[in-house]
Chain A
Amino acid sequence: MKSRLKGRGCSSGVVKGEAIVSERPFGFWQGIDPKTGVVIDRRHDLFGESITGKVFVFPYGRGSTGTPGIFIEAVRNHVAPAAIINLNSEPMIIVCALLAEEFYGVKIPVVDGFELDHLKEIRTGDRVEINGESGEIKIL
């Protein structure tokens, strides 16, 4: 293990996955295609990338309050990210995980409570283990 970070667990579940990192805020409505999990926001630096099954790291949510609608549709279509790491999670990001568990039985760890410098330790492509309850993140 390369390093370890401790944030605040906002949901539940433990997953391992490949990180995809952006320093820019992200909105899911018109941010991803819920059929494919690919980023469709042309203004975003992750445009064209897939977030399916990845540990998605971005500072905080922005834009439309339609986010959970798109996110849960992505969960239903098995193309949602596996976990989310934020500096500060907006309620609507946390809710995505709570709804996924309540209605589709899928646990998506969400961890927040970091400074930007801490998050810079995680790079796209890193293997990451994340615990949505304890808030523990291991960069493997």
Chain B
Amino acid sequence: MDLTEGEKRILEGEEGEPKRISMRILKRIGEIKGADRFIPVASAHLVGCSYQIAGEAGIEIYKKLVEQGARVSVPTTLDPGSIDFERWREFKTPEEYAERQIVISDLLGKMGVIPLWTCTPYYLLNVPLFGQDLAWSESSAVVFVNSVIGARTNRMSAYVDLCASILGKVPRFGLHLPEERRGGILIELDRELSDLFSDVHFPALGYLVGQIAEDEVPVITGIRKARFDQLKAFGAAIASTGSAALYHMVGITPEAPTLDRAFLGREPVKRVRVGISEMRKTMESMCTYDGGEVDVVGIGCPHASIDQVRRYAEVLQGEKIKESVQLWVCTNEMVEKMARRMGYIDTIERAGGKMMVGTCLNNCPLSRWNFRHLVTDSGKFAYYTPTTVGTKCYFTTTKACIEAAIEGRIKGE
């Protein structure tokens, strides 16, 4: 890689250990991936901030970096932590576990991060622009900012994201290059599926596309309209079942005004048709039981927007959740404050639902609850909760999730 004089000095340690280590690691990745030089990034988003991910090793690494004077050099937000910082006792989080998360929070705070604790920082406080280069982690957020906003980031990962944030730079390769953003595999929806495509199909299609895309950029045709939150759910599911960091949805996402532009004039390497039967099979595969019992309903993955919280409140208006069931709505502190002011959270809490803020079912230790059956509308929860929470999982529409909490049962198909 070609380094500037300033970058060479950093590598020699003239700007301190944190920058030297960061550059050494990023330079090595750049060399392996064929980068020609470093480029500045506009912002970073970190995942190694949860105790569940970072563990004791993370605490040791952050302590060392803080002692060496590490500071982030671009706006840097944090992914969900492993506790609800205000209500961790209500979620039965062991005290010693909460303490370790607070240690991480303090250490990262000393480096100057924005403690947003969310997987959807792109709604607020860390909003990328089209074409901007970024250093982001969190597989669902990476997919979102690349695909829906048209910003440019490789899938960073725990610690490397921090290295890039300390340095304010990343090696230029992969999705920073326009050529690498071209479509590879074409996913065509059948007309009948297009006609009935609705809310629940976004995470389900994402779940399927993640599995078939392998390491190609998927291009989807046949979706006529999509809301911000639906694209968020779609991308989160893609990134759970696969490793795609970018998709194009023709007529919807900014780098795909036409099929031709999505593929930069080339032929797809592969074409896959998806119809109603493939969709049905995928939704079946997302359920690990046939319905019936429910202990916990988890919604808000990725973290709910105000509009989603409003929709939940509408269904819960004047209702009461069964005592045997927990309904948890995951979101971040900013959405929670605003939605509370708007009265939505009052409705949810009066019905017996709980707000889970700054964390989620995938990050928070929940073994003390002994949950066995989880119902969700999220492709990402459907993929991970059998491992993270240790439950069987039933995937369905948002409305059916909330109704399951009210009725205390989930009707199978």
Chain B residues lying within 8 Å of A70, measured Cβ to Cβ, are 53, 55
Kindly identify which residue among A30, A34, A88 contacts B388, using a CB–CB cutoff of 8 Å.
Answer: A30
How far, in angstroms, from A91 to B135 measured CA to CA in the complex? 13
A25 located at the interface, meaning its Cβ lies under 8 Å from any Cβ of chain B in the complex: yes
How far, in angstroms, from A94 to B142 measured CA to CA in the complex? 19
Interface centre among A30, A61, A66, A75 (most CB of B within 10 A): A66
B47 located at the interface, meaning its Cβ lies under 8 Å from any Cβ of chain A in the complex: yes
B208 located at the interface, meaning its Cβ lies under 8 Å from any Cβ of chain A in the complex: no
CB closest residue in chain B, given A92: B157
Is B64's CB under 8 angstroms from A103's CB? yes
Is A65's CB under 8 angstroms from B60's CB? no
Binary flags per residue of A52-92, CB closer than 8 Å to B gives 1, else 0:
00000000111111111110110110000000000011111
Kindly identify which residue among B53, B57, B61, B155 contacts A90, using a CB–CB cutoff of 8 Å.
Answer: B155
A98 located at the interface, meaning its Cβ lies under 8 Å from any Cβ of chain B in the complex: yes
Q: How many residues of A contact B (CB 8 A)?
A: 37
Kindly identify which residue among B64, B157, B240, B242 contacts A91, using a CB–CB cutoff of 8 Å.
Answer: B157
B197 located at the interface, meaning its Cβ lies under 8 Å from any Cβ of chain A in the complex: no
Kindly identify which residue among A8, A42, A66, A98 contacts B53, using a CB–CB cutoff of 8 Å.
Answer: A66
Is B139's CB under 8 angstroms from A63's CB? yes
Query: Which residues of A (1-24) have their CB < 8 Å from a CB of B?
Result: 8, 10
Is A34's CB under 8 angstroms from B55's CB? yes
Chain B residues lying within 8 Å of A40, measured Cβ to Cβ, are 387
CB closest residue in chain B, given A95: B160
How far, in angstroms, from A65 to B80 measured CA to CA in the complex? 13
Contact flag A69-B159 (CB < 8 Å), given A98-B29, A102-B24: yes
How far, in angstroms, from A88 to B243 measured CA to CA in the complex? 12
CB closest residue in chain B, given A96: B157
Query: Which residues of B (132-163) have their CB < 8 Å from a CB of A?
Result: 137-139, 142, 154-161
The smallest C-beta distance from A116 to any residue of chain B, in angstroms, reads: 11
Binary flags per residue of B112-138, CB closer than 8 Å to A gives 1, else 0:
000000000000000000000000011
Contact flag A94-B29 (CB < 8 Å), given A40-B387, A42-B386, A66-B48: yes
B239 located at the interface, meaning its Cβ lies under 8 Å from any Cβ of chain A in the complex: yes
How far, in angstroms, from A8 to B33 measured CA to CA in the complex? 11
B15 located at the interface, meaning its Cβ lies under 8 Å from any Cβ of chain A in the complex: no
A41 located at the interface, meaning its Cβ lies under 8 Å from any Cβ of chain B in the complex: yes
CB closest residue in chain A, given B210: A62
Is A66's CB under 8 angstroms from B157's CB? yes
- With A30-B387, A69-B47, A69-B48 given, can you name 19 additional A-B contacts, CB distance below 8 Å? A10-B32, A30-B384, A63-B139, A63-B239, A64-B47, A65-B155, A67-B158, A68-B48, A68-B159, A75-B57, A89-B32, A91-B156, A91-B160, A94-B29, A95-B29, A95-B157, A99-B159, A102-B25, A103-B64
Partner-A contacts on B (CB < 8 A): 21, 24-25, 28-29, 32-33, 47-48, 50, 53-58, 60-61, 64, 137-139, 142, 154-161, 174, 215, 239-243, 362, 384, 386-388
- Residue pairs across A and B with Cβ atoms less than 8 A apart, 9 shown, are A42-B386, A65-B142, A68-B48, A69-B53, A69-B55, A73-B56, A91-B155, A94-B29, A94-B32
